[in-house]
Amino acid sequence: MKKFIIYILISLGYIACEPKNTNTPSENSNQTIPADYALVIHGGAGTITRNNMTPEKERQYLDALHKALDVGEGILKNGGSSMDAVVQTIKILENNPLFNAGKGAVFTHDETNSLDASIMRGSDLNAGAVAGVSTVKNPIMAARAVMENSEHVMLSGTGADEFSNQQGLEIVDSKYFYTEKRYDALRRIKEKDLGFRVVDEDYKFGTVGAVALDENGDIVAGTSTGGMTNKKYGRIGDSPVIGAGTYANNATCGVSCTGHGEYFIRWAVAHDISAILEYTDLSVTEAGEKVIMDKLVKVDGSGGAIILDKFGNVAMPFNSEGMYRGYVKPGERVVKIYKE
């Protein structure tokens, strides 16, 4: 009996001294303890395969995604807000001509650049968006200004450009947005009268976005795009539409989408993912799969989304050939392009 009691005491001591599991949960996990911070990004989805990607081009995209994550994580690690992290991360992507946003925006049928962006704060569901701007260097900054400094949610066209100028944002000549790659893509479409059919991987899927969770538990989501190559009549997609291309709610998750915008608007994709988490017990992975891989696939809606919940769980579903994407948490970083 005495030996048995000693054995029990030794066993309890071992259990008490056993180190806790400090591994950070990976994508597709279902962590229920809030992470210190988390950031997930995308750079667009589409016909992105190894066959049409040179090693040099692949490295450029990977480096760009890592640079964006570096900036956002630096803010979050130092106690910064998810709002600042999302804006500064998206600015990095907007300033990189590899992506269809900001500097790399595609051309409209009229050979101009028309840019959209939105941002949403999960703590109070406040949001701001701009559509059809043409002189703001960083549309995500304009979206934030609309949210914080106006009574509106969305401004468009010349009015949005004028508001941005009055807010002291950096204004550029329209020539700033010119890139030979995007202009050549437009010319190829026009010459063949292809309308919206695919001639390059970014013709309708190129968008950038970020979702961040900070140490206060606040979630912010943002999205920015140049839209569709050869778009006409002032067409606006899902990126500046709250609930379609962007959504954030501290009680559920933050979402930023990329894809064929008309479908994401009709199916209110970003909000639908949040609502599934609010009204069911599904994980972020299951919610994303249900909307992106089931609902959209059934109606031929192509694209993807990045999702980040209040615990720091990440999902990055897409039903296209590839999606530029990545996330970072304490001690963990993942950057991907292709299907696994």
Which residues carry out catalysis? 207
Can you give the chain as a three-state secondary structure string? CHHHHHHHHHHHHHHHHCCCCCCCCCCCCCCCCCCCCEEEEEEEEECCCHHHCCHHHHHHHHHHHHHHHHHHHHHHHCCCCHHHHHHHHHHHHHCCCCCCCHHHCCCCCCCCCCEEEEEEECCCCEEEEEEEECCECCHHHHHHHHHHHCCCCEEEHHHHHHHHHHCCCCECCHHHHCCHHHHHHHHHHHHHCCCCCCCCCCCCCCCEEEEEECCCCCEEEEEEECCCCCCCCCCCCCCCCECCCEEECCCCEEEEEEECHHHHHHCCHHHHHHHHHHHCCCCHHHHHHHHHHHHHHHCCCCEEEEEEECCCCEECCECCCEEEEEEEECCEEEEEEECC
